[in-house]
Chain A
Amino acid sequence: MTSKGRWTLVFLFLSMFIFCGCWDRTEIDERAFVVGVAVDLAEATETNGSKPPSPQHFPFIEKEAGDTSLTYTHKQISYLMTVELAVLHALSAGPSDGNKEGTGDPSWVIGATAPTIQAASTAINLRVYRPLFFGHQQVLIIGEEAARENLRPILDFFTRHTRTKRKMRIAIAQGKASDILSIKPRLEALASVYLFRLFQSAPQHSLGLDADLNQAIVSLHSSGHAVISRVRRSLDGQEAYNGGAAVIKDWSLVGWLEDIETQGYLLAKGVSSSGRVSIPVATRPSALIEYVYHHCRTKTNARIEDGKLSFEIELCLEGFITEETAAADLTTEFIGWVEEALSEEITRRVHMALHKLQKTYGVDALELGRHLEISDPKLWERIKGDWPQLYPTVPIRIDTTARIRRTGSTK
């Protein structure tokens, strides 16, 4: 054998060890697939003491002169992290309609309490011998109390993790998040998949939100504010309810938007692609007309008149009548009247949302500040420092035009 041939053989032999990537070899049945995570606040205790945070651990904390007499408040927080694991053999053997008889439960919900999400994940691993794999995580549900405390430490783990996907859905549970994850849906084998589909369907009605982790974190990093999905558990524990929204201010939950307010918010934001609105018929109070819009165009303008700042939101909706119980003759005049009534109702819904966001919570969820920055950057530079104080007082005018294009299969 020539020298060249020998070297080629040596190279080929060595390549078996260096190119095969066997360090990362993990068989599919050696992983615990996390499909959903719920995080609740387990404990939050405040302790007062005279011991300051260690400066060698936090070099960025500057010690002020004479602060030795101060008492330091230290808040000890621990989270209950509940994960839903997919039991693969039960999933592959069982029918997809959720009939789990004879195949075992395809879902294993298990939790642990720890001061951080990573520590909780490790604590779960003390009972689940397979390493938790977050690459297929569909939903992240955060409990109301945990969200009111601070979202930043919870979200950090999920955005920093190299395997999690930013397209996973995020929601705040009204109540305990672990309760949501332990529901037993009938349409899907796994609660997380059911919740994921539930959030995905939100744009069909616009009464709830379909917020993913990326949208939430982009908004939170930009302003500290966000509006994300709210989820509730039904009394019988059989299903979840995705209606309304959670309002986040400075990384903490400050309140809720109800279903109709959520629709108003989504319409004003220009992200509501479909939804329904009903109006009573004046002549017959018990009768209702149901309108479904399938297109909404929103335009937000910042106006400065006589040195006063105001905003104008123009909405233009197109849709059709799906139901009317007044047995009315749908003439041009009647349709015109319905269009006017619908415009008023939609304006009312937007006003409801804006009132709550602007006056009650002081959260610029419509990014009116950004609109002002785009239309008048110089003015924005001058006032951006005072924007949190200015925003609740700025007048916002809503101008809605609802159009009825069709009336269904009947006249």
Chain B
Amino acid sequence: MKYDNERISDISLFFLLSAAITEVGVLEMPRLFAESVGRDLWLVPLLMIPVLLLSLYLFCLLGKRFPDETVFEYGPRLLGRPLAQVLFAVLIAYWFLVTGRMMRDFADVVRLTLLSLTPAEVIIGSMLVSATYLVRKGLEPISRAATIIILITVPIGLGITMLTYIKTSPVMNMRPVLAHGPWKVLKEGVRGVGLVEQLSAFFVCFPFLSKPEKAWRTAAISVVITILLFANVTFSTLAVFGPVELVHVRLPALSAVQTVEQPFIFIESLSSFYVATWIAQMFITIAFMLWLIATGIQKWLGHRDHIGLATPALPIIYLISLSPANVAALDKLIRIQENCGVFIHLILPLILLIAVRRRRKPEQTNKQQGREDGDS
């Protein structure tokens, strides 16, 4: 089944994925890594790259096998109907949880940096309503918006981050390398794959690609470039704060930008520009996650289209976003989602690929038997 009105090109996939991956993580990741591995935090994004590529490869193997179907269509054939229903429920619940957590994080960052008096409910509500408008138009408009936003915001964000290197260098703070052995860093590198929640979109999005055969190459380039941008942010925060202070700073990427001071920078609040670029990228992330939820439910329930399903999802996301009592509870939720993400991005595709292989064997045996019967 092909979705002509919803298809996106490989270039669009590149920009969509880049914009979608850049969410709250870019501001918070350095702190999370510093809490886990200390001085070696700069190695974590670099180690995440091969793990993410492995996950992507598994998704692409599934996509190659079922280019015209989503997991909601081929899942029951591979796992059996009851188990598939459980899988669908887990996936939808995960996407709801991720989107709700992102919304809460988004509201907290906006309140912390720009709109300190505006209620979180209003920030969350307005973002969800505006994202829903885009979701109702389909995946292609989301990808077009992503293209525009990435082309404008990434050079600005990158430029601002590079300014932090003028007075500081991360090299002293990087050394000694792996003084406490490689295991903690390796573990965090694998766990880091759980922080890139948008990878799970590959369970759904292959039928929406005009050239699914190019998905692996395009998505791999997009993921590598985006994670390298993350790595750059990690290096800059390590340069400005060092591994000890990083743990104390709530949004290290933003606070690092606030320390930039050069005579040629006439803009008083450089961090506001940084937040503005981040909000634009966040808009795409939320819209994409919302589209994923709506499309997932549509496929699961066998609905005609996803358009009417985005709006009913909003109250659930809204309630989830308000459920963490405070920032400490939110941090805990991020860690839980990270572990869930490792299961969904690495283990689940592997289970499905094993199921594909197991299903193939009886088919091959049946074919072979059929041929032998024919011969006789």
Contacts and interface: CB of A to CB of B under 8 A. Distances in A.
17 contacts: A18-B125, A23-B122, A159-B248, A162-B112, A162-B113, A162-B116, A212-B259, A212-B261, A217-B245, A218-B242, A221-B245, A221-B248, A222-B245, A373-B179, A374-B172, A374-B175, A377-B179
A212 B259 CA distance: 9
Nearest to A135: B269
Interface in A368-388: 370, 373-374, 377, 381
A373 B243 CA distance: 14
Chain B's interface size range is: 20 to 34
B113, B129, B245, B258: most-surrounded residue (chain A CB, <10 A): B245
B118 interface: yes
A294 interface: no
Interface in B116-159: 116-119, 122, 125-126, 129-130, 133
Given A166-B259, A222-B244, A374-B175, A23 B114 contact: no
A370 to B, nearest CB: 8
A11 B125 CA distance: 13
A21 interface: yes
A19 B261 CA distance: 32
A167 interface: yes
Interface string A275-318: 00000000000000000000000000000000000000000000
B240 interface: yes
B115 interface: yes
A214 B259 contact: yes
Interface residues of A, number: 26
Nearest to B110: A21
A165 interface: yes
A167 B122 contact: no
B312 interface: no
A23 B119 contact: yes
Interface in B322-350: none
A167 B163 CA distance: 14
Chain A interface main SS type = helix
Given A214-B240, A221-B245, A221-B248, A19 B116 contact: no
A24 interface: yes
A370 B268 CA distance: 35
Interface of A: 11, 14-15, 18-19, 21, 23-24, 135-136, 159, 162, 165-167, 212, 214, 217-218, 221-222, 370, 373-374, 377, 381
B278 interface: no
Contacts of A14: 129
B176 A373 contact: yes
A262 to B, nearest CB: 20
Given A166-B258, A221-B248, A24 B115 contact: yes
A27 B112 CA distance: 19
Contacts of B179: 373, 377, 381
Contacts of B242: 218, 222
B40 to A, nearest CB: 12
Contacts of A166: 255, 258-259
Interface in B198-246: 240-242, 244-245
B115 A167 contact: no
A21 B115 contact: yes
Interface string B164-191: 0000000010011001000000000000
B240 A221 contact: no
A19 B118 contact: no
Nearest to A222: B244
B370 to A, nearest CB: 56
Contacts of A221: 244-245, 248
A24 B261 contact: no
* Cβ-closest 8 pairs across A and B: A23-B118, A377-B179, A377-B176, A18-B126, A23-B117, A222-B244, A218-B245, A374-B175
A166, A167, A222: most-surrounded residue (chain B CB, <10 A): A166
B172, B240, B259, B260: most-surrounded residue (chain A CB, <10 A): B259
